[in-house]
Structure 1
Amino acid sequence: MQKSLVDEKALLEIIDEMRIRIPEEIREARQLMREREQIPQSAQMEADQIIQEAREQADQLIRDEEIVKEAEARAQQLIGEVEEQAEASREEMDVYALNMLRDLERRLQSHLSSIQRGVLALDEEAAVAGDLEDEDPV
C-alpha cells in the first residue's frame, strides 16, 4: 500500500467544503453586484424625489406674489441642499459597495489560496508517487 504525504480524508473534506462554499460565495458576489447596481439607482430615485418635492414646495411659494423673491431663493437653496445630500448619499453608497467588494475579494482570495494549496499537495503527492515507481527494487 502506498503512503501519501497528504491525508486523503482531510483533503477530500477540504474539497467538499470548497464545493459547498464557492457557490455560496459566488451567489453572495452576484447579490453584492446587484446591490451595487441598485445603490446608485436608489440614490438617484431618492434624489429625484427630493428634488421634485423641493420644486413643488418652490412652486407653491412662488404662487404667493408677496414672497416671490424669497421663494426663489429658498427653492434654490433646497435644490442645492438636496443635490449635496444626493451626492453625499452616492458617495456613501460607493464606499459601502467598495468595502463589500473588498471583503468579498478577500474571502475569494482565501478560497483560492486553499485551492492552490490543495493543487500543490496533489502535485507533490503525484511527484512522490512517480519517484517511488522509478526506483529499482532492491
Structure 2
Amino acid sequence: MKLNKQKILFIAVIFFWFAQYVYIPYQTPYLTMIQTSTSFIGIIIGTYGISQMVLRLPVGLLADYRNKHKMIMLIGALSSGCASLFRIIFNNGIGFLIGNLFSGLASAMWISFMVLYMSFIQKTNKQKQPVQLLSLTI
C-alpha cells in the first residue's frame, strides 16, 4: 500500500474523529448508572456543544491569522486525548464535564484538518470528487 501525505492525513482524521465520538452512545447510560443526576447529565452533554459554539470562530480566526493549522490540529488531538484521560481518571460527573469541555475544544479545531488537507490538492484537481483524490490502493 502506497501512502502519501494526503492519505496519512486522511487516516489520522478518521482516527481523530473516531476518538471524539466512540464514547457518545455510552455516556448518558454510564452517567445514569453511576447515579449522576439527570439535570447534571444534561449540563455535561450540553457542555460539548456550547464549548464548540464559543470556541470555533476564535480558533478558526487564530489559525487563519497565524497560519498555524498544523499546530491547531496537534492541540485538537491533544485535547481529545486529555478529554479521554479526564473521563478515565475522574470517573464521575465532573470528570465527564471537563472531558466534554476538552472534546468541544478538540472539535472546534476540525476546520484546520480540512484547510490543511485542501492545501495538499493541486488547483487543477480541486473540482474532482473527493473519492477520486483519496482512493486508497492496497
TM more than 0.5: no
- Name the larger-Rg structure: 1
TM-score normalised by L of structure 2? 0.35
More helix per residue: 1
TM-score normalised by L of structure 1? 0.35
